[in-house]
Chains A and B, each alone.
Chain A
């Protein structure tokens, strides 16, 4: 039984809502689109249950848990992952540098701190190529050979 917070200040709505007023579609915005842990968070304003005249901010968190994933997705021999941890602070981090203009010059700025910590991924990012090595017995010799885990993503241009 949590409490609901009312965002009555129209000033908050202004920077977030960038659609056209005459387009009456329900405007839902993406806050998090994390391909590493497969989480998306979107938010929109909905009429409050207690008072239909007021709007409250509703956040939809969508998590897809890959139950057959390995502890280390780059190593198919590692054991199955049984613990999945999702932290909102980590997911809401914006580590991609953003271009901003100050005094006529363009700078790249990072919007969050602690971006240097490595992220453990639970699932594959479709745009990246994942490979592994395995011991290959050939003519009595065992060599470490590279194999591809996600073929479609591993083509050269």
Chain B
């Protein structure tokens, strides 16, 4: 039943929600990434670095470097110990699973070495590879290849480019290569492409002529060639090529890209930082066209505009930094970045959108008392926070220090949420001047910070509400009161009337209530209008969905099954078989991917069966019993029906 409700609710969600977004084809193409073009000198050497997602199977699987020919890809060197004759001592492969890459080095290059190669994982020609083109020239100058960046989906790309002192004062830019040239993304003059608003930041480094660019929330479409440069593309200056590839890794905690905050209430941002144990200053800032305006940082600085509104909590165990921003206004919407001064740390960004609604925690937002008197700050919470931890804390620019407060929850088995007294009270027996300041009432659940509400406590000397009239009428700017709050509107409205009698909270409560009947009518008509809009929106959306559904496109399937597919799919791997009579390691079974008209194939093929026949079961059985060397001999001479013994038995990987 709840499932039905959820699917029903899903239908009502706006189109941009994750459920209706489809990943582009790049998402299922090969996640192995390497340089497109490598240049080498005659008799020189060249190193090729290929990246792969560090999943458990990828880390242990065979890595290979093979030379592509018309029919197949012949292994030159592989991580299971094979080196083709002709390349002995010239080619080597080193796998670095922690660094998510493997490196191939080829030395003593000859002109015959130029051509197309593939670096890959698993079985040759199954698609989990990347095509690398090697050019050998006589020299003396060899062009520099592009710099490779392998970025996790939704994480941040950080690029540093330096061009020397001569370019220190020139325009710096980053642009993406498209068919018609290079499309500008961000430059040092403050121009930002609108699709990168809030996501991209350019900042100058200390050394003159060098700068760094950060792009957060990297998506599939961000893969491709980029140019970072100084000057103007196509006209003057220098550029450096960057090749960026986005890959997906499952089960990685990432911050949410968009957070919705209710006006008047609070939001909690979570920033995950990397495993680097640097004790760098971390800060939180709001994205602007010219840079990022710092709001709060871990050294205790809080921007004046945000006094009493923002707090930062560090949780080194989870490697998470939590930032709470309350008293939300419409102007708070935008992009917020979690940054660290050390650029090597993980930076991330989140978009904040403000929606209208009712805050969960309610209470007086400003309380004014005289020195020495007794005061209670109350905070009432709704049923949804019934089981959460509640707290009161005193806000300061370094942190919000918890204060002992009493939860008015009544003990006993008969008490349910509706009947219970849902308030938390912070009491002061005798208020002192030092107690003046911001206090926060908040909820916490499973160690995660939830909603908060801020209250300002005014402590006045001596007597006379009339004195306070002038004082409070000339509101100091650090109070940060949003005038649009509904329930907190008593006191500010009271003050606007400059009426001495309206100063005390009790009086302004009554004035608030006199507006009661009018607000009731207003709210009823609003609700009616909203319902009408919702119904029409639902009808429109359902109609559009109907048009989009599978039923309509029944006639337009085009299948791509060809006879060659049936012949060529054989599960045996190209093995580094020491017993093979031929001098080259050849592919058994067709190479579907290596054809003259090859187009990038999906990696789906490689993720499936490698072995599923009786011969393999036999081999697994015999491998268990005997050592690897004796299997090799036995497999070669005796078993002609199994052409390529699986690599596991050959190389002793039992």
Contact = CB atoms under 8 A, between A and B. Distances in A.
Interface of A: 2-5, 7, 9, 11-12, 14-16, 18-20, 22-25, 27-31, 33, 35, 38-40, 42, 56-70, 73, 76-77, 88, 92, 98-102, 104, 107, 109-111, 113, 123-127, 132, 134, 136, 145, 147-153, 155, 157
Candidate in B61, B553, B558, B560 with the most chain A CB atoms within 10 angstroms: B553
B647 to A, nearest CB: 8
Given A12-B544, A101-B260, A30 B179 contact: no
B18 A98 contact: yes
B17 A38 contact: no
B616 A149 contact: yes
Given A23-B221, A58-B556, A69-B612, A15 B604 contact: no
A126 B57 contact: yes
A59 B553 contact: yes
Interface in B193-221: 195, 219, 221
A111 B604 contact: no
Contact of B558 (A25, A38, A59, A126): A59
A76 B616 contact: yes
22 contacts: A4-B556, A11-B544, A12-B544, A15-B16, A23-B176, A24-B179, A24-B180, A35-B608, A40-B604, A61-B559, A64-B605, A65-B566, A68-B571, A68-B612, A69-B612, A99-B18, A109-B19, A123-B609, A124-B612, A127-B55, A136-B621, A155-B59
Query: 3 closest Cβ contacts across the A-B interface?
Result: A2-B555, A76-B617, A123-B608
Contacts of A100: 6, 9-10, 13, 17-19
B569 A64 contact: yes
B6 A73 contact: no
Contacts of B561: 63
Given A23-B221, A30-B22, A68-B570, A149 B608 contact: no
A102 B604 CA distance: 34
B548 interface: yes
Contact of A38 (B566, B605, B621): B605
Given A5-B555, A42-B25, A109 B617 contact: no
B9 A24 contact: no
Contacts of B616: 76, 149
B602 interface: yes
A98 B22 CA distance: 13
Nearest to A33: B28
A64 B604 contact: yes
Interface centre among B57, B180, B602, B611 (most CB of A within 10 A): B57
> Which of B56, B548, B608, B611 is packed against the most chain A CB atoms within 10 Å?
B608
Contacts, number: 217
A16 B547 CA distance: 14
Contact of B612 (A12, A18, A38, A70): A70
Given A11-B544, A123-B609, A149-B611, A136 B221 contact: no
B467 interface: no
A35 B603 CA distance: 10
B195 to A, nearest CB: 5
A113 B28 CA distance: 25
B319 interface: no
B22 A16 contact: yes
Contacts of B604: 33, 35, 38-40, 62, 64
B288 interface: no
A9 B547 contact: yes
Interface of B: 3, 6-7, 9-10, 13, 15-25, 27-28, 55-57, 59-62, 122, 176, 178-180, 183, 195, 219, 221, 224, 260, 262, 544, 547-548, 550, 552-561, 565-566, 569-571, 602, 604-614, 616-617, 620-621, 624, 648, 653
Given A68-B571, A107-B6, A23 B183 contact: yes
Contacts of A155: 56-57, 59-60
Given A2-B556, A58-B556, A60-B560, A66 B61 contact: no
Contacts of A28: 24-25
Given A64-B605, A73-B609, A100-B17, A113 B3 contact: yes
A132 B20 CA distance: 39
A39 B605 CA distance: 9
Contacts of B617: 76-77, 132, 134, 147, 149
A125 B607 CA distance: 5
Contacts of A39: 604
Contacts of B20: 15-16
A29 B24 contact: yes
A19 B27 CA distance: 13
Nearest to A105: B384
Nearest to A56: B556
B341 to A, nearest CB: 31
Contact of B221 (A20, A31, A57): A20
Contacts of A64: 565, 569, 604-605, 608
Contacts of B607: 35, 124-127
A20 B16 CA distance: 15
Contacts of B56: 127, 153, 155, 157
Nearest to A146: B624
B448 to A, nearest CB: 11
Nearest to A108: B6
Nearest to A3: B555
A92 B612 contact: no
A2 B55 CA distance: 43
A6 to B, nearest CB: 10
Given A70-B613, A109-B7, 17 more contacts: A5-B555, A18-B221, A22-B178, A25-B178, A29-B25, A30-B24, A60-B560, A65-B569, A68-B569, A68-B613, A76-B614, A100-B10, A104-B262, A107-B6, A134-B620, A150-B611, A155-B60
